[in-house]
């Protein structure tokens, strides 16, 4: 089949709808945010249109640099852990019977229906000293006395992985199911144990999917703001938490917008970097 | 009273405010079709429910003015909406219950219509602090509700009630406190200034502020949880997980009445008194009805009813109310309160916020 | 010496018996074709030999050792899949070297063996190519080379040529057969293409409904099919109902066939006659009399359809034999007794 270049205006018609959606739901909101990030903040009031860099200047400090760094590190770790757990897990599900698959996928979907608030509170209870899982360990004789496992980095990470894991599995599942099952069978007939076949054939065969999943979970985790504040100490608050504080409690929209623009640029940079590394790896 | 208060709806703060309130804003509830009506904004959730149930129907019955109550979000989102609507000469609500910092911010842009105290016969009942004024003396707001933030403890962990805010600094309380996470809702600067530096006036100078921040930094090792959401701390307080902190006096009292091992103490330096005021949007055409409404709300009987049914502290002089000592203690105290320096959060908002955030998260 | 022995292998999926009590001895170096329609159990049988499926009962014995419980990766077989299953992330050389790498062969050993195999499959200097850049036939050969890399004890192929076009398939059949003879390796190919089986196999195993219907050299399968299923599956044939009377005279289509005898004194049977064995004669000269209904002249051969008392009998002749037949013509039909096979009903 030959593709012909569009010749008349009408040939571009199919682009109108997606173009409109892109403008309405991305270009306009994002453009507004960028514009507001340059506005003048009126302390004790609102903001006035202007073109100043104060909001960016305020952001360029060691403090906010540290928060941004932590946010990115947290999102990267969440993405890595999610894929490290989700990939073998999804692989095992895909090998199971149809009924088992359906049960698992429905269970995962139901986790998706839980709001961040519920997840946060559930984990804060599970990690509490008075009603938490350490009581089970004490009961089992594995621990001397119950302990609080939050607030702390581990608690934030656990809850965020819990929240992102269903997304991870749902992104991986179609690709894993589509992967030719004879590839691993071939590896086994050629002498590879099932585990070796998984790492030699399945993982590299789905490399692009894995990279795409890492990026999606990373971006998803970067936006988290409730779990870090419910389960973390202030040093575990992400940039999204501070953006929310500025936007909702301080009504400092220009500064919130400037931070959000920074966050978007950083995540785009991370995605770009990942793709670049991926391409190099492919060429090698 | 219990029946309504124990629903445990988040009262002043709404977690993840945006999503939840966006839905509520769209749902005004109309009590009765009348010729005369007024749209009144009250904090969504518990407050709105209580007012709709206990206060507004009686008002409509007596005055013939229908009340359309509108759930407003806390924080300053509602202020932003009112301001933008007023620019277009619209009033999403005629009267709104506004927090004090928002009152000041609205004043800066002349958002509030001046009120005529002569039309409010009960104005004399009001405590001085319950009348908001423009710098030139015009009245722009009348105290609607007030509440205290006090020192709360778990009685299992602390058999003896603490007596002073100094308990927050006690090294024995390491990693045991739950404090509010924002400079503008915890009012810990005021607490520190009153407890250690003789009063909130100490916050007026840069040197004073610096000293207060340094003193406040000493409390950090004791803090287990910096909370934005009430429910999160309340649960931890009840279970003893986080046995001490600052919290709302009225809600703590209700929790104790339900048998939870918690208590609220007015420290000798005083509880933190925060309040909301009725303010009239400059775009409103219902000035007449608004004055009738405010007059009704400042009556001694209404204030008494609100203390009994809604759990708020009266904004009028105590002796005018019909509250028993027990009822009064449930919502207020005679100890001189710590009044937040709302002016600071208007003029030095970003500075304080930045310093505060670096203090606790740095 | 026995290369491979299957002993009463059965595979059940729920109540369904995919493979039903199959026993087979395959001498070392034999080229076996498992032939049958889809769903006959041939692929399941192959997968059980490879260890990819576990038999419900029975044993797989190789070189006298029972390997039924040995996991696939320890069997040292080579297998070519219908999808070929080349690893897309590896180039040709790395695909072929994979079983060697798994077994810890040195780089030098690996590349030496890869070069050797590439020469064997007539694709020298292809080691660095990505598999995506190969043609269908080339991929086929790479898959074969990869399966042969470790000189396996058993070479298994599942419909290996089905993805190729007809011309290439025929060429590959010959090539595969020559390769197998060159290496002398015991080979088992699953196919549904009887022509493929006839081309390559020493031993054709015809399967139907999970059971072996006949296992024999190709010519014998063709000449002496065990039953009408085999006869119908291998090549085309004329199946004519025959019956015998009380004194053993056999009649077909109302006409006595003096030279044909029933098996085991049965009363009813089917006679299989290959079309090329049917002779068309002048009217009245043959044993049977009929009318030509259709003539298909394919140039190299002519297929003549003759209606004899309601049954169509097809005769295949060369143009030199008779080129003057036309539809509607009355003819005689002769069935040589030595080329007709009586099948049990």
Which pLDDT does position B17 carry in this prediction? 38
Angle subtended at Cα A155 by Cα A149 and Cα A158, rounded to the nearest 5 degrees: 130
Contacts of A189 in chain C (CB under 8 A): 50-52, 72-73, 75, 77-79, 147, 156
Mean pLDDT in each 10-residue stretch from start to end of chain A (284 residues)? Answer: 66 81 86 90 74 88 91 95 95 91 91 89 89 87 84 94 94 91 93 92 89 90 90 92 85 89 87 78 50
**Is residue A8 included in any domain, yes or no?**
no
C49/C181 same-domain check: yes
**Within a domain: A253:** yes
Domain ranges (residues) in chain B: 7-146+274-331, 147-272+337-361
Q: Which residue of C has its CA nearest to A192?
A: C73
Res C77: pLDDT: 93
Averaged pLDDT, B211-217: 95
C199, C230, C261 — which closes off a domain? C230
* Residue C165 pLDDT exceeds 70: yes
Residues C165, C301: one domain?
no
Q: Is the same domain home to C31 and C170?
A: yes
Q: Please report the number of interchain residue pairs, chain A to chain B, with beta-carbon separation below 8 angstroms.
A: 91
| Three-state secondary-structure class, residue B6 | coil
CATH number at residue C270: 2.40.50.100
A200: domain CATH number is 1.10.3720.10
B360 contact residues in A (CB cutoff 8 A):
234
Sheet holding C65-66, edge to edge: C16-27, C2-13, C57-62, C65-66
Question: B84-103: per-residue pLDDT in tens?
Answer: 899 889 999 999 999 898 89
Q: Is residue A150 part of a domain?
A: yes
Q: Do A190 and C147 touch (CB under 8 A)?
A: yes
Contact call for C75 and A207, based on CB within 8 A: no
Q: What would the pLDDT profile of A217-248 be if each residue is shown by its tens digit?
A: 999 999 888 999 889 999 999 999 999 888 87
C-beta separation of B79 from B106 below 8 A: yes
Asked whether residue C108 falls in the same domain as residue C80, the answer is yes
Please name the fold of domain B7-146+274-331.
Answer: D-Maltodextrin-Binding Protein; domain 2 (3.40.190)
Closest residue on chain B to A146 (Cα): B241
Residues C16 and C158 in one domain: yes
Query: Facing residues of B150 across strands?
Result: B247
Angle at B157 between CA B155 and CA B161, to 5 degrees: 50
* Mean local confidence (pLDDT), C207-235: 90
Interface of A with C in 130-189 (CB under 8 A): 180, 182-183, 185-189
Q: What percent of chain C has pLDDT over 70?
A: 97
Could you tell me the fold of the domain covering B147-272+337-361? D-Maltodextrin-Binding Protein; domain 2 (3.40.190)
Query: What part of A 74-133 touches C (C-beta under 8 Å)?
Result: none
In this predicted model, what pLDDT tens digit does every residue of B17-60 receive, in sequence order?
A: 333 444 444 444 444 444 789 999 998 777 788 899 999 999 99
Domain extent, residue A213, equals 69-283
Q: Are C265 and C136 within one domain?
A: no
pLDDT at position B7, please? 35
Q: Which of A189, A191, A194 sits opposite C50 (nearest CB)?
A: A189
Q: Is B247 exposed, middle or buried (0-12, 13-18, 19+ CB in 10 A)?
A: buried
Query: Domains in chain C: how many in total?
Result: 2
A170 CB neighbour count, 10 Å cutoff: 16
- pLDDT score of B13: 44
How many structural domains compose chain A? Answer: 1
- One fold for B7-146+274-331 and B147-272+337-361: yes
- What is the CATH classification number for the domain harbouring C215? 3.40.50.300
Optimal mutation site among A248, A252, A256, interface B, most CBs of chain B within 10 A: A248
Q: Out of A73-82, B22-31, B203-212, C96-105, which region has the weakest mean confidence (pLDDT)? A: B22-31
pTM for the predicted model, two decimal places: 0.78
Q: How confident is the model at residue C2 (pLDDT cuts 50, 70, 90)?
A: low
What local confidence, expressed as pLDDT, does residue B75 receive? 64
In sequence order, the 6+-apart residues with CB closer than 8 A to the CB of B73 are: B14, B17, B18, B21, B24, B25, B43, B44
Average pLDDT over residues C206-221: 93
Q: Are C345 and C264 spatial neighbours (Cβ–Cβ below 8 Å)? A: no
Say whether both C292 and C250 belong to one domain.
yes
C81 closest CB neighbour out of A182, A194, A204? A182
DSSP β-ladder status, C279-281 and C330-334: antiparallel
Closest CA relative to residue B123, chosen from B109, B108, B100, B141:
B141
Residues C18 and C160 in one domain: yes
Provide the pLDDT for residue A3: 61
**Chain A touching partners, 3 or more CB pairs below 8 A:** B, C
**Which of C230, C263, C282 is the endpoint of a domain?**
C230
C322 pLDDT band, cuts 50/70/90, is low
Q: Which residue of A has its CA nearest to B233?
A: A230
- Identify the residue among B100, B184, B357 best suited for mutation to test binding to A, counting A beta carbons within 10 A and taking the highest: B357
A117 — contact with chain B (CB < 8 Å)?
yes
Q: Give yes or no for B135 touching A (CB within 8 A).
A: no
Q: Does A255 touch chain B (CB under 8 A)?
A: yes
Contact C85 A191 (CB under 8 A): no
C162 lies in which domain range? 2-230
Contact A245 B182 (CB under 8 A): yes
In a domain, A59, yes or no: no
Q: Are C10 and C56 in contact (CB under 8 A)?
A: yes
Domain-terminating residue out of C171, C200, C230: C230
CB-CB neighbors (< 8 A) of C73 in chain A: 188-194, 196-197
> Average pLDDT, whole number, for chain C?
89
Nearest CB neighbour to C81, from listed A186, A201, A204: A186
pLDDT category of residue B168 using cuts at 50, 70 and 90: very high
pLDDT, tens digit, 9 for 90 and up, residues C235-246: 888 888 888 877
Looking at the domain assignment, is residue A221 inside a domain? yes
CB atoms within 10 A of CB A69: 12
Does position C60 have pLDDT exceeding 50, yes or no? yes
Given CB atoms, is A129 within the 8 Å cutoff of chain B? yes
Pair C243, C101 in one domain: no
**Same-domain check for residues C112 and C212:** yes
In a domain, A28, yes or no: no
- Residue C321 confidence (pLDDT) above 70: no
Check CB contact of A135 with chain B, cutoff 8 Å: no
Same domain, C168 and C26: yes
- Are C70 and C40 in contact by the 8 Å Cβ rule? The answer is no
Q: Which of A97, A181, A190 is the best substitution to test chain C (most C C-beta atoms within 10 A)?
A: A190
| Placement of tokens 């206060």 in the chain | B55
pLDDT confidence bin for B149, thresholds 50/70/90: very high
Closest Cα of chain B to A130: distance in Å?
6
């Amino acid at each position: 089949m030959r593709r012909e270049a569009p010749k008349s205006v009408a040939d571009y018609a199919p682009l109108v709808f997606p173009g409109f959606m892109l403008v309405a739901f991305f270009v306009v909101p994002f453009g507004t945010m960028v514009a507001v990030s340059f506005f003048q903040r009126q302390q004790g009031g609102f903001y006035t249109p202007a073109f100043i860099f104060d909001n960016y200047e305020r952001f360029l400090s060691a403090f906010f640099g540290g928060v941004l760094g932590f946010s990115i590190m947290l999102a990267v770790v969440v993405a890595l852990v999610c894929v490290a757990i989700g990939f073998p897990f999804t692989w095992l599900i895909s090998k199971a019977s149809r009924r088992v698959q359906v049960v698992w996928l429905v269970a995962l979907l139901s986790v998706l229906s839980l709001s961040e608030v519920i997840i946060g509170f559930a984990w804060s209870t599970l990690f509490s000293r008075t009603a938490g899982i350490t009581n089970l360990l004490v009961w089992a004789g594995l621990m001397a006395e119950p302990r609080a496992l939050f607030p702390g980095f581990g608690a934030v990470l656990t809850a965020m992985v819990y929240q992102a894991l269903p997304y991870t599995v749902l992104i991986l599942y179609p690709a894993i199911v589509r992967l030719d099952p004879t590839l691993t069978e071939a590896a086994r007939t050629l002498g590879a144990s099932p585990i070796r076949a998984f790492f030699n054939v399945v993982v590299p065969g789905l490399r692009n999917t894995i990279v795409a999943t890492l990026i999606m979970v990373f971006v998803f985790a970067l936006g988290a703001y409730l779990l870090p504040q419910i389960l973390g100490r202030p040093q575990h608050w992400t940039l999204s938490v501070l953006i929310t504080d500025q936007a909702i409690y301080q009504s400092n929209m220009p500064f919130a917008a400037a931070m959000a623009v920074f966050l978007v640029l950083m995540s785009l940079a991370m995605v770009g970097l990942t793709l670049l590394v991926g391409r190099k790896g492919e060429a090698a | 009273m219990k029946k309504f208060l124990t629903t445990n709806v988040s009262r002043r703060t709404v977690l993840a405010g945006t999503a939840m309130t966006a839905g509520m804003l769209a749902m005004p509830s109309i009590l009765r079709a009348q010729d005369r009506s007024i749209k009144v904004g009250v904090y969504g959730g518990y407050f709105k429910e209580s007012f709709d149930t206990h206060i507004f129907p009686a008002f409509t019955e007596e005055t013939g003015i229908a009340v359309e109550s509108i759930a407003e979000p806390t924080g300053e989102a509602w202020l932003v909406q009112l301001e933008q609507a007023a620019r277009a000469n619209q009033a999403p609500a005629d009267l709104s219950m506004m927090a004090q910092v928002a009152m000041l911010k609205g004043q800066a842009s002349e958002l509030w219509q001046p009120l005529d105290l002569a039309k409010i016969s009960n104005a004399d009942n009001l405590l001085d602090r319950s009348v908001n004024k423009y710098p030139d003396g015009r009245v722009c707001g009348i105290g609607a509700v007030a509440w205290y933030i006090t020192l709360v403890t778990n009685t299992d962990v602390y058999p003896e009630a603490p007596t002073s805010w100094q308990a927050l600094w006690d090294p024995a309380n390491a990693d045991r406190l739950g404090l509010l996470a924002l400079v503008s809702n915890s009012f810990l600067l005021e607490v520190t200034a009153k407890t250690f530096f003789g009063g909130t006036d100490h916050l007026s100078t840069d040197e004073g502020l610096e000293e207060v921040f340094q003193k406040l930094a000493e409390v950090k090792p004791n803090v287990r949880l910096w909370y934005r959401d009430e429910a999160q701390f309340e649960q931890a307080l009840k279970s003893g997980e986080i046995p001490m902190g600052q919290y709302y006096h009225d809600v703590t009292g209700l929790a104790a009445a339900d048998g939870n091992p918690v208590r609220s103490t007015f420290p000798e330096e005083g509880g933190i008194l925060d309040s909301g005021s009725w303010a009239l949007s400059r775009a409103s055409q219902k000035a007449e009805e608004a004055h009738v409404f405010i007059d009704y709300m400042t009556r001694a009987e209404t204030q008494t009813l609100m203390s009994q049914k809604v759990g708020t502290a009266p904004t009028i002089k105590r002796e005018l109310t019909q509250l028993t000592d027990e009822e009064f203690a449930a919502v207020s105290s005679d100890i001189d309160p710590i009044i937040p320096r709302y002016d600071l959060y208007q003029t030095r908002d970003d500075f304080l916020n930045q310093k505060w955030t670096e203090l606790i998260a740095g | 010496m026995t290369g491979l022995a299957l002993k009463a292998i059965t595979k059940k999926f729920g109540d369904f018996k995919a493979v039903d009590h199959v026993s087979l001895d395959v001498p070392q170096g034999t080229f076996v074709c498992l032939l049958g329609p889809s769903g006959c159990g041939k692929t399941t049988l192959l997968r059980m030999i490879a260890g990819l499926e576990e038999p419900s009962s029975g044993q797989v014995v190789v070189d006298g050792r029972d390997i039924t419980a040995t996991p696939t990766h320890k069997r040292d077989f080579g297998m070519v899949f219908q999808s070929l299953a080349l690893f897309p992330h590896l180039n040709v050389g790395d695909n072929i070297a994979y079983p060697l790498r798994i077994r810890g062969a040195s780089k030098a050993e690996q590349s030496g063996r890869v070069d050797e195999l590439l020469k064997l499959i007539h694709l020298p200097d292809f080691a660095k190519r990505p598999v995506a850049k190969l043609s269908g036939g080339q991929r086929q050969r790479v898959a074969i080379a990869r399966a042969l890399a470790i000189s396996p004890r058993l070479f298994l192929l599942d419909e290996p040529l089905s993805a190729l076009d007809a011309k290439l398939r025929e060429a590959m059949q010959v090539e595969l057969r020559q390769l197998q003879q060159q290496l002398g390796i015991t080979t088992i190919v699953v196919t549904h293409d009887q022509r493929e089986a006839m081309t390559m196999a020493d031993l054709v195993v015809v399967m139907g409904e999970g059971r072996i219907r006949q296992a024999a050299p190709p010519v014998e399968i063709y000449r002496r099919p065990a039953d009408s299923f085999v006869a119908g599956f291998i090549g085309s044939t004329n199946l004519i109902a025959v019956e015998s009377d009380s004194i053993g005279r056999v009649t077909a289509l109302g006409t006595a066939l003096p030279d044909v005898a029933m098996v085991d004194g049965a009363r009813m049977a089917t006679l299989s006659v290959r079309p090329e064995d049917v002779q068309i004669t002048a009217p009245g000269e043959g044993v049977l009399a009929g009318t030509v209904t259709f003539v298909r002249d394919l140039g190299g051969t002519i297929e003549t359809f003759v209606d004899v008392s309601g049954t169509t009998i097809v005769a295949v002749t060369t143009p030199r034999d008779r080129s003057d037949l036309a539809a509607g013509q009355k003819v005689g039909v002769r069935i040589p007794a030595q080329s007709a096979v009586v099948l049990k009903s």
